[in-house]
């Protein structure tokens, strides 16, 4: 595809509305074309602007207005009548006339039907959005995984831009996510913490830790709330015991990814060398 064709697909690509093969094609083109990559980033900035825009509140007297409109014909017909209160001296209670009951019933029915239709549209929209964002998320992670081995800094910036990420100190990360990340208590021997960031990913707000081995290679740890390992699309996966935890292992070609339960959250390691390395990480975080 040329740039003109790609530009027409950027909006549905950003919204996750393209089939998986087209998603991959657009992602690969954007990686090698600075102009299209900038146009794609523009959709992200536009989305953030809309998300930040205030939403108007529903008027508190909307019910009164509906009843008033329903009462209007009766007011016209009875303009010349003198209305007497339907009250009894004994009880002091007022009786609602049949006409008033009918008006209230009609108004209530209108609100119920309106509310139900809004709820159904919202559920359909949320389902479509979830499916679309899931495909878009997988394509995003696929792009990230292709960049990571050769250019970790570029891969880092890509996710930061995509998911409104911030590189922060550990103490600031704790304030932003409301819990203490596992890496805050240190890393095993042979690893150093290069950076921590907080990302607003589709699954949840994640803490991402970029770790460096003594040979300079990169291992990335995501701590997140969801327990599903559906970040990696159709890549080959298997379940295995890593230390004392059952892990989902994903084949990334030259490395593996692994997801395991760590307390009430999950940890996903990207760029692990083998199952042995994953087991050592699992045991370390369990110990700390």
Over residues 89-133, the pLDDT tens digits come to: 444 454 555 666 566 666 666 667 555 554 445 444 434 434 445
187 membership: H or E segment, kind and range: none
On whether the 152-287 domain is CATH 3.40.1000, my answer is yes
Q: What is the mean pLDDT of residues 68-72?
A: 61
Q: Name the band, by pLDDT with cuts 50, 70 and 90, for residue 136.
A: confident
Looking at the predicted structure, is the pLDDT value of residue 202 above 70?
yes
β-bridge partners, 251: 256
Q: Which residue has the higher pLDDT, 283 or 105?
A: 283
> What's the rounded Cα separation, in Å, for the pair 110 and 37?
48
CA 244/CA 282 separation, integer angstroms: 8
The per-residue pLDDT for 25 is: 85
Lowest mean pLDDT across 34-38, 53-57, 184-188: 53-57
Residues 6+ apart with CB under 8 A from 27: 13, 139, 140, 142, 143
pLDDT: is 66 or 177 the higher one? 177
- Distance between CA atoms of 286 and 281, rounded to whole angstroms? 8
- Over 90: is that where the pLDDT of 212 sits? yes
CA 91 to chain centre: 57
Q: Binning pLDDT at 50, 70 and 90, where does residue 35 land?
A: confident
Q: Write out the two tokens for 112.
A: 């119920």
DSSP-H helix ranges across the chain: 3-14, 20-32, 34-52, 62-77, 98-147, 152-162, 170-177, 275-287
User: Is residue 278 predicted with pLDDT exceeding 80?
Assistant: yes
CA-to-CA separations, 276 to 217, 242, 256, 260, 281, in angstroms, rounded:
17, 7, 11, 14, 9
Q: Is the pLDDT of residue 283 over 90?
A: yes
Question: Quick one: DSSP state of residue 207?
Answer: E
β-sheet with 205-213: strand ranges across: 166-168, 191-200, 205-213, 218-224, 265-272, 256-262, 245-251, 237-242
CA distances from 175 to 22, 96, 168, 171 (A): 39, 56, 10, 7
> Which band of pLDDT confidence, cut at 50, 70 and 90, is reported for residue 284?
very high
pLDDT (0 to 100) of residue 287: 86
Both structure tokens of 266: 């999950």
pLDDT (average), residues 251-264: 92
Domains of the chain by residue range: 1-50+98-147, 152-287
DSSP 48-91: HHHHHSPPPPPPTTHHHHHHHHHHHHHHHHTTTSPP---B-TTT
């Amino acid at each position: 595809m040329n740039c003109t064709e790609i530009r027409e697909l950027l909006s549905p690509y950003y919204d996750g509305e393209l089939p998986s093969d087209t998603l991959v094609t657009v992602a690969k083109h954007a990686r090698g074309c600075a102009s299209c990559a900038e146009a794609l980033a523009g959709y992200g900035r536009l989305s953030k602007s809309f998300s930040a825009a205030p939403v108007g509140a529903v008027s508190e007297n909307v019910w009164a207005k509906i009843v008033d409109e329903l009462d209007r014909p009766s007011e016209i017909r009875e303009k010349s009548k003198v209305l007497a209160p339907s009250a009894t001296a004994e009880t002091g209670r007022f009786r609602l006339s049949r006409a008033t009951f009918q008006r209230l019933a009609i108004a209530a029915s209108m609100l119920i039907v309106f509310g139900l239709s809004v709820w159904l549209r919202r559920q359909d929209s949320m389902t479509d959005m979830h499916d679309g964002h899931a495909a878009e998320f997988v394509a995003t992670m696929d792009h990230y995984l292709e960049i990571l081995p050769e250019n970790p800094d570029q891969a880092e910036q890509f996710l930061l831009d995509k998911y409104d990420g911030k590189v922060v100190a550990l103490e600031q990360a704790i304030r932003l996510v409301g819990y203490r990340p596992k890496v805050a208590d240190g890393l095993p021997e042979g690893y150093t913490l290069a950076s921590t960031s907080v990302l607003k990913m589709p699954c949840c707000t994640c803490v991402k830790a970029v770790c460096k081995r003594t040979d300079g290679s990169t291992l990335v740890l995501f701590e997140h709330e969801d327990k599903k390992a559906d970040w990696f699309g159709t890549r080959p996966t298997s379940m295995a015991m890593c230390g004392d935890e059952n892990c989902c292992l994903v084949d990334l070609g030259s490395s593996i990814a692994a997801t395991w339960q760590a307390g009430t959250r999950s940890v996903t390691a990207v760029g692990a060398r083998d199952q042995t390395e994953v087991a050592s990480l699992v045991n370390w975080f369990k110990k700390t």
